[in-house]
Structure 1
Amino acid sequence: MLEQFFHPQTFREDAIFLSTPHIIILAIFFSSVILLYLNRNKQCISSVRWILLLIIILSEISLHIWSLATGQWSIQNYLPLHLSNLSIYLCAYMLWRNSYKVFEVLYFFGIGGVMQALLTPDLFYTFPHYRFFHFFLAHMAVILGILYMVWVKKYTVTIKSAIKSYAVINVIAFFVFWVNQLIGSNYMFLAEKPSGPSLLDYLGPFPWYIFQLQLIAAGVYLILYLPFYFKNRKAW
C-alpha cells in the first residue's frame, strides 16, 4: 500500500474536478476556514501559524524528494514559477517573519489564484495518492495562512496594496512568460491552457486569454479589497 501511495502511476485520473474526493476535501477546507474564524480570538490559535508553516515546508521538501526519487522532476515542471508555488513560498516567509510587506502583496493573488487551484485543480492523482494530499494540504495552508494574518494578526490592506500586488504579479508574469518561451514550460499557464477543467476554458485562445485574465484579476482584486474598504468606512 505504501508503494502505491507514492508510485507515479497509481491512483491516476483524467481529472478530479468535482469528484467525490475533491468535494470532500473542499468541505474539509471550508470547515477549517470557519473554525479559524470562530477561534480567531482564542490564545491557543497562535499555534496555528506554526502548524501551517510546518505543513508548507514539509509539503514542498517532500514534493521535490518524491519527484526526484520517481524520475518526475524536470525544469519544465518543478521550478517554483506557478502562481500557486510562488504563493506557497511567499506564505512560508510571511508566516515565519509575520511579514506585513509580503502579506499585502500575497493577500490578493494568494487568495485569488490559490482558491482557483483548489476549486479547479490541475491535478491527475486522486485519493489516496501522495500527490493528492500534497496538493490540497499545501494550497489549503496558503489560504488559511493569509486568513490567519487577517483574523488573528489583524492585518489589513489598502487600495495601494492592491495596486502594488497587481504590479508585482504582472512583473512576475512577464518574467515567467519569457522563461516559458526559453525552456518550453507552461508556468502560470502563460503558454497554453491547463489540461484539466478551469476558468480559462471559457476564455479566448492563446494569447488573448492572457489579456482577459488581466481584467478578471482586476475584478478579483476589487472583490477582495471590498471587505477592507467597508471596514475602514465603518471605522470613520
Structure 2
Amino acid sequence: MGPVEDRFEAYGLSHWVLLVLIVAGSVLLVVLGRGLRGDGVERWCRAFAVVVLAFNVPLLVFRLMPGEWDVTESLPLHLCDLAWMVAAWALWTRRVTPHALLYFWGLTLTPQAIITPALDSPDFPHVNFIEFWGQHLLVIWAAAFLTWGIGMRPDWRGYWVSGGVTVTWGLAMLVFNEAAGTNYGFVSSKPENPSLLDLMGGWPTYLAVELVVGMAAWALLTWPWTRPREPVTAP
C-alpha cells in the first residue's frame, strides 16, 4: 500500500498559509499597480490576464478529459469558474462591465469560498488543491489590482448589470441542475460543508435571503466610489 495522503482541513496549516498569501499578494499588486504609468499599465494587465488563462485553461481541459469527466464537477458553471474568465476579460480589456463583475464576485462570493472552502481533497500538492486555491487566489488578486492598483471604479450601472447577470446565471443553473442532476452554484441545495448559507434557512428560502443580503452588500461596496464629494474650499 502507498502512503496515505493528508486531507485538506479547513483552518489547518495550508489554509492559513493560503489566506496569508492572498492578503500579501493583494497588497503587493496594489502597490505595483499604483506605481505603473502609461504603457506599463496595459503591459502588466495583459500579462496578468495571460497568467490567469495559462493557469486555468489547462486545468479546465484536464477536467473535461474522459478519465476525469464528471458532469457534477467538470463543467465550468460555478460562479468561481466564471469569475476567472471574467478576471482575464477585465485584465485584458479594462472595460467597465467585466471589472464590475470581477469586483462584486471577487470581493464577496470568492472570499466566501476561501473562508468556508467546499474542498474535499488531499492537501498540497494534489491537483484539486492547486486548482481550487489558485483559481480563487488569482480572482481576488485581479480584483484588488484593477480596483485599488490601477484605479478602476465600480458604479451603479455596473451594480445593476452584475445583479442581473448573477440572477440570470442562478435561474439557468436551477434549470440545468434539475435536468442534469447536478448542484452547480449550490442553488439546488446547500453544500455539505458548513457555510454562510446555513444561516439563511432551507431551500428555496436561502436563495431569496442570499439575493437580498448580496445586493445590499454590493450596494455598500458601490456607495464609497459613487457618493458625492464635498468640494474643498480654500480657507
TM-score interval, smaller chain: 0.7 to 0.9
Kept in 1: contact 2:29–2:145 (CA 8 A):
yes
Kept in 1: contact 2:59–2:131 (CA 8 A):
yes
Tell me the residue number matched to 1:191.
Answer: 188
TM-score by length of 1: 0.85
- Give the SS at the match of 1:58: helix
Q: Offset at 1:176?
A: 1.2
User: CA 1:99/1:41 → structure 2, altered by over 3 Å: closer, same or farther?
Assistant: same
Tell me which moved more, 80-89 or 90-99.
90-99
Answer yes or no: is 1:63 the counterpart of 2:59: yes
% identical equivalent positions: 24
Tell me the residue number matched to 2:156.
Answer: 159
For structure 2, list consecutive stretches of 5 or more residues without a partner in the other structure. none
Q: Offset at 1:174?
A: 0.9
Tell me the residue number matched to 1:79.
Answer: 75
User: CA 1:154/1:208 → structure 2, altered by over 3 Å: closer, same or farther?
Assistant: same
Larger radius of gyration: 2
User: CA 1:53/1:16 → structure 2, altered by over 3 Å: closer, same or farther?
Assistant: farther
- Give the SS at the match of 1:75: coil
Answer yes or no: is 1:52 the counterpart of 2:45: no
> In the TM superposition, what whole-angstrom CA distance separates every residue of 1:16-50 from its partner, at most 9, and x where no partner exists?
32121101110111011121223332239746534
For structure 1, list consecutive stretches of 5 or more residues without a partner in the other structure. none
- Cα distance in 1 between the residues matched to 2:183 and 2:229: 42
Tell me which moved more, 157-166 or 187-196.
157-166
Find 1:35's aligned residue among 11, 15, 28.
28
User: CA 1:10/1:100 → structure 2, altered by over 3 Å: closer, same or farther?
Assistant: farther
User: CA 1:70/1:124 → structure 2, altered by over 3 Å: closer, same or farther?
Assistant: farther
- Cα distance in 2 between the residues matched to 1:10 and 1:200: 32
Find 1:19's aligned residue among 8, 12, 34.
12
Kept in 2: contact 1:37–1:151 (CA 8 A):
yes
TM-score by length of 2: 0.85
Aligned length: 227
- Cα distance in 2 between the residues matched to 1:225 and 1:233: 14
User: CA 1:212/1:29 → structure 2, altered by over 3 Å: closer, same or farther?
Assistant: same
